[in-house]
Amino acid sequence: MSFESVDPGEGHSIAAWTAVTIMLLAVAIGTVAFFLVIPWLVWASVGLLVVGLLVGRILAKIGYGVADTAHLGH
C-alpha cells in the first residue's frame, strides 16, 4: 500500500533560494556598513532586503515557487 504525501515542501525552489541569497547578502552588507558607520550603505542594504523579498514573490508567482516544483518529485 502506498500513498502520495501532500508535502508543501521546505522552500526548495528557485524563488526561495534566490530570495534568501539576496536577503543574506543584504544583511551581510548592512552589518559591515553598520560596524563601519556608513549610514547610506546601511539604508541601501535595507532596500536590497526588500528587493530580495520582492524578487522571491515575483519568481514564485511566475512559476518558480514550491507549489510549482512539487511535481518534480524532490
> Cβ–Cβ contacts within 10 Å for residue 42, how many?
17
In-domain check, residue 8: no
What pTM value is reported for the model?
0.76
According to DSSP H, which parts of 14-65 are helical?
14-35, 39-59
Question: Is there a domain that residue 57 lies in?
Answer: yes
41 belongs to a structural domain: yes
Say whether pLDDT at 71 is over 70: no
- Which positions ≥6 away from 45 have C-beta within 8 Å? 26, 27, 29, 30, 33
Q: Note whether residue 40 is domain-resident.
A: yes
Give me the number of domains the chain comprises.
1
What domain range is 47 assigned to?
14-67
**Within a domain: residue 7?**
no
Instruction: Tell me the pLDDT tens digit for each residue of 8-38.
Output: 556 688 999 999 999 999 999 999 999 999 9
Assigned domain for 5 exists = no
pLDDT in tens, 33-67: 999 999 999 999 999 999 999 999 999 999 988 87
